[in-house]
């Protein structure tokens, strides 16, 4: 989700894919945080969020790696400094804002309070992956991905900072390695026959995730996850060639801002609505999604006009 260094023009299909995935993330968090606070989520909503689980975060992780390769070709040192500037600073700022919004400011005095609880783990992971990507020569990223994948298999199932961290590192490094041959990858994924060939498998994986067992972050599900991610990328490439989808492109361009902003707004919404007598799922979910996206849009606009707002998202003056 972090932006690549350099001034090369953005690719519409990447923005479309990122925009679609960040929208799915907002929808997910609007229901999952409601459930975490003791609310009852309708079964069909749980099934719907599980249906999209194989594509949401794996696609965003892969695209972060794909974009990283472009920055790495301009120098590991500059890439790393840029990544830390746009990731480390907002991670620290929004860790504080998230703690305040969720009513857990006391956790900031504990080490665990700075480990990316609830949603900021994504930025923490991308920072760690960027360091690895900068230290390992780009031509060896696929080899490093293989080692990371094997290490994830050796971890205890379901561990956030073990299995998930290493599996996503492998996915990130596969993305950065393939970024070296991005045009060739785009040509391959742009074949309509490929997408139609993958579609039955993609639907089967997502239905299995919705009905039987949620497929999310496990290396044991690597093959179905890769099939789904490939399908998302292929769909993005082919849609971008026919329809501009400006809203999704805009969301993709500003995906990091949306990611940072939406969750504190959801937390405040869930704390505030019961005070005015609203506690059922449907209105709470609708308000969480609407306010999360509206606040994100307001922040995107404010970043262009006010340096103080922009400083919430990257180190000021750097």
Q: Render each residue's pLDDT in the chain as its tens digit; 318 residues.
A: 544 333 334 589 999 999 999 999 999 999 999 999 999 999 999 999 999 999 999 999 999 999 999 889 878 888 988 888 889 999 999 999 999 999 989 888 888 888 877 899 999 999 999 999 999 999 999 999 999 999 999 999 999 999 999 999 999 999 999 999 888 999 999 999 999 999 999 999 999 999 999 998 999 999 999 999 999 999 999 999 888 899 999 999 999 999 999 999 999 999 999 999 999 999 999 999 999 999 999 999 999 999 999 999 988 765
Tell me how far apart the alpha carbons of residues 286 and 87 are, in angstroms, rounded to a whole number.
29
CB 261 within 8 A of CB 295: yes
**Residue entry with tokens 């860790």:** 95
290's CB contacts (< 8 A; 6+ apart) are none
Residue 39 exposure: Cα atoms within 13 Å on the Cβ side = 25
pLDDT recorded at residue 16: 96
Which run of H or of E encompasses 243? none
The closest alpha carbon to 261, from 317, 217, 211, 301, belongs to 301
The closest alpha carbon to 313, from 231, 266, 257, belongs to 257
Tell me how far apart the alpha carbons of residues 43 and 159 are, in angstroms, rounded to a whole number.
26
CB 210 within 8 A of CB 47: yes
User: CA–CA distance from 11 to each of 3, 186, 235, 241, 308 (Å)?
Assistant: 12, 11, 14, 11, 29
Residue 165 exposure: Cα atoms within 13 Å on the Cβ side = 19
């Amino acid at each position: 989700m972090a932006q690549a260094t350099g001034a090369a023009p953005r690719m519409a299909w990447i923005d479309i894919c990122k925009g679609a995935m960040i929208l799915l993330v907002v929808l997910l968090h609007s229901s999952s945080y409601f459930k975490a606070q003791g609310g009852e989520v309708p079964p069909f909503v749980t099934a719907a969020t599980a249906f999209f689980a194989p594509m949401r975060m794996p696609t965003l992780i892969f695209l972060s790696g794909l974009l990283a390769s472009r920055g790495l070709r301009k120098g590991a040192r500059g890439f790393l400094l840029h990544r830390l500037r746009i990731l480390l600073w907002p991670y620290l700022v929004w860790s504080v804002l998230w703690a305040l919004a969720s009513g857990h400011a006391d956790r900031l005095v504990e080490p665990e309070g700075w480990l990316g609880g609830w949603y900021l783990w994504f930025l923490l992971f991308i920072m760690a992956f960027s360091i690895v990507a900068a230290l390992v020569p780009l031509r060896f990223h696929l080899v490093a991905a293989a080692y990371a994948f094997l290490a994830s298999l050796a971890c205890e199932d379901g561990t956030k900072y073990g299995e998930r961290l290493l599996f996503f590192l492998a996915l990130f490094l596969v993305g950065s390695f393939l970024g070296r041959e991005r045009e060739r990858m785009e040509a391959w994924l742009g074949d309509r026959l490929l997408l139609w060939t993958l579609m039955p498998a993609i639907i089967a994986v997502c239905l299995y995730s919705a009905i039987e067992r949620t497929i999310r972050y496990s290396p044991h599900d690597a093959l179905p996850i890769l099939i789904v991610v490939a399908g998302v990328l292929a769909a993005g490439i082919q849609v971008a060639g026919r329809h501009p989808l400006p809203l999704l492109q805009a969301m993709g361009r500003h995906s990091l801002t949306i990611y940072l902003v939406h969750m504190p707004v959801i937390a405040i919404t869930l704390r505030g609505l019961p005070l005015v007598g609203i506690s059922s799922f449907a209105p709470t979910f609708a308000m969480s999604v609407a306010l999360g996206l509206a606040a994100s849009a307001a922040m995107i606009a404010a970043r262009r006009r006010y340096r103080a707002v922009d400083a919430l998202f990257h180190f000021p003056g750097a």
